[in-house]
């Protein structure tokens, strides 16, 4: 399989989503609360030009399990 940047980005997104799903499944277990706590990153550029205006919001909720998912995804990408 030929490696390129788009495949790596796809692997990273899949790792983030998988980590977020696992984090949601484990949120009810108090012993693992340090793994499921999320940090919210928000970026919201906006512009009001006389002819048109726009606003865009991108929010990432990252937990420790999501980071572990990304690490596993990059490791799997390198194994290809």
Question: What are the pLDDT digits (tens) for 23-56?
Answer: 999 988 989 889 899 999 999 999 999 899 999 9
* pTM of the entire predicted model: 0.79
Report pLDDT digits (tens) over 7-26: 999 999 999 999 999 999 99
- What's the confidence (pLDDT) of residue 64? 94
pLDDT band at residue 68 under the 50/70/90 scheme? very high
- What's the confidence (pLDDT) of residue 43? 94
CA 31 to each of CA 34, 36, 59, 63: distance values in angstroms, whole numbers, following the listed order: 8, 10, 27, 15
> Closest Cα to residue 67, out of 11, 5, 16?
16
């Amino acid at each position: 399989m030929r490696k390129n940047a788009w495949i790596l980005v796809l692997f990273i997104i899949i790792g983030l989503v998988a980590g977020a799903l696992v984090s949601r499944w484990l949120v009810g277990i108090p012993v693992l609360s340090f793994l499921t706590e999320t940090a919210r990153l928000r970026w919201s550029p906006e512009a009001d030009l006389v002819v048109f205006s726009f606003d865009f919001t991108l929010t990432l909720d990252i937990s420790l399990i999501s980071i572990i998912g990304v690490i596993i995804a990059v490791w799997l990408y390198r194994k290809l």
